[in-house]
Amino acid sequence: MSNTEWWQRGPVDGVPAVLQPVAHILLQVRDSVAELVGPLTLHEWNARPSGVASAAFHVRHIAGVIDRLFTYARGAQLCDAQFAALKHEGAELTEAEIDEILQAVRDRVNAAIAELRAVDPSTLGDFRAVGRAQLPSTVIGCLVHGAEHAMRHVGQLSVTTRIVRATAG
């Protein structure tokens, strides 16, 4: 089934039906990140062709955005560690950090799937305040945006890695 995208593999066990698309997107994000960055050298991880964000930024940001949006979905606000991680997303990556940031994506997606299993569908329309400005959203708004935003960065990661590999070879 690894050649089949997650949305074509059937329901994710324990996830409410209405949240299946969120689970499918997150699992696809996890697999796509691993596939896209597997062959990168350290130089390629940090390259910023034409000034675009690096692969390192996108991978860190993917884990971070899922973490932050799921925090808001729970009705919580961000903690100091989350703000520190956000500030670090654009930093140069070291060789020692590669496995760490890939594990962070896997761990964050796995935790998000566990959270989806625990969501009471009757709460999906509940108000959630987002960010310092306390912008209005809902539980489902935060969950969907977390998955959608992560997948948007997978697309950017795909383009960046293709350009970086093409210019390196």
Predicted confidence (pLDDT) at residue 49 exceeds the cutoff of 90 = yes
| Length of the chain as a residue count | 169
- Report the C-alpha gap between 76 and 79 in whole angstroms: 9
| Mean pLDDT along residues 47-64 | 97
| Mean pLDDT along residues 99-108 | 97
138, 127 Cβ separation under 8 angstroms:
yes
Task: Set out the domains of the chain in order of their start, with CATH numbers.
Answer: 16-168 (1.20.120.450)
Q: Name the amino acid, one letter, at 69.
A: L
43, 98 Cβ separation under 8 angstroms:
no
pTM: 0.94
Q: What is the per-residue pLDDT for 1?
A: 46
Dump pLDDT digits (tens) for 118-143. Answer: 999 999 999 999 999 999 999 999 99
Going by C-alpha positions, the residue among 27, 104, 91, 94 that lies closest to residue 64 is 104
